[in-house]
Structure 1
Amino acid sequence: MAKKKGSRSIVREFDEYFGSGTLEDWQRLCRDIGLDGDFSSINKCRKALRTVHVNIYDLIDAVRAGRTPHRFGNAQQLAEYTVRTGKIYPKKHAKAMGPVKVLLRMIL
């Protein structure tokens, strides 16, 4: 099994990126991932994000570089990449109704 990425604090990095969880924060996340659509509510954002497979480490890196992160075709492809690279977000830090919870997929 791959080890989790060491020196980065991905939880802190994502929290800083996402903000307080306003509708605007959710809309920015959808845009940054490259989603198009009607994101007039947080629930619509959540629904759209459930269909996307991105690595959270790569999302943060892409946003910082002004790029759209790579989107995997399915959860299996994301899982294989995540395990291979060790870019595993700690599940215990996913807030029940937060964006990380929506983006997390079963990896192991």
Structure 2
Amino acid sequence: MARKRGFRNIVKEFKTYFGDGLLDDWQRLCRDVGLNGEYSSITQCRKALRTVHVNIFDLLDAVKEGRTPPHFGTAGELAEYTLETGRVYPKKAAKKMGPVRALLRMIF
């Protein structure tokens, strides 16, 4: 029951945040997670994002607050945090939406 009261539509939030998936959207995502490089293609953005371990809920909260989300040193540390906090992005939705997949890590 508590889950329903506190439920966030994280899929909708990310889709609204990300936009149409144009290069500008990808570059903004890179900046928002704290990557400072020059990324001239979506492919470059995707490759750079593979090196970042952030929780998607934390990312969206950080963007709203004008700060960079906390980073984790490894995918394992991110998985542990994600499971402890219950801030898990729904796997089913991730398969449908390309951009969010760049941030997803195996946690189970």
TM-score, reference length from structure 1: 0.92
Ranges of 4+ aligned residues in structure 1 off by more than 3 Å: none
Q: Secondary structure at 1:76's aligned position in 2?
A: helix
Of 24-33 and 89-98, deviating more is 89-98
Give the distance between the partners of 2:43 and 2:97, measured in 1 at CA: 10
Partner of residue 38, structure 2: 38
Give the distance between the partners of 1:40 and 1:96, measured in 2 at CA: 25
Over residues 30-78 of structure 1, what are the superposed CA-to-partner deviations in whole Å (9 max), with x where a residue is unaligned?
0000001121000000000011000000000000000000010000100
For CA contacts below 8 A with separation 6 or more, give which structure has more relative contact order.
Answer: 1
Q: Unaligned 5+ residue runs, structure 1?
A: none
Partner of residue 47, structure 1: 47
* Structure 1 pair 7–99 and aligned structure 2 pair: CA distance change class (3 A): same
Partner of residue 76, structure 1: 76
Partner of residue 9, structure 1: 9
Paired residues in the alignment total 105
Q: Secondary structure at 1:94's aligned position in 2?
A: helix
Q: Secondary structure at 2:106's aligned position in 1?
A: coil
Partner of residue 103, structure 1: 103
TM-score, reference length from structure 2: 0.92
Give the distance between the partners of 1:8 and 1:86, measured in 2 at CA: 12
Give the distance between the partners of 1:37 and 1:95, measured in 2 at CA: 27
Give the distance between the partners of 1:43 and 1:49, measured in 2 at CA: 10
Q: Secondary structure at 2:102's aligned position in 1?
A: helix
Give the distance between the partners of 2:13 and 2:72, measured in 1 at CA: 22
* Structure 1 pair 27–97 and aligned structure 2 pair: CA distance change class (3 A): same
Partner of residue 67, structure 2: 67
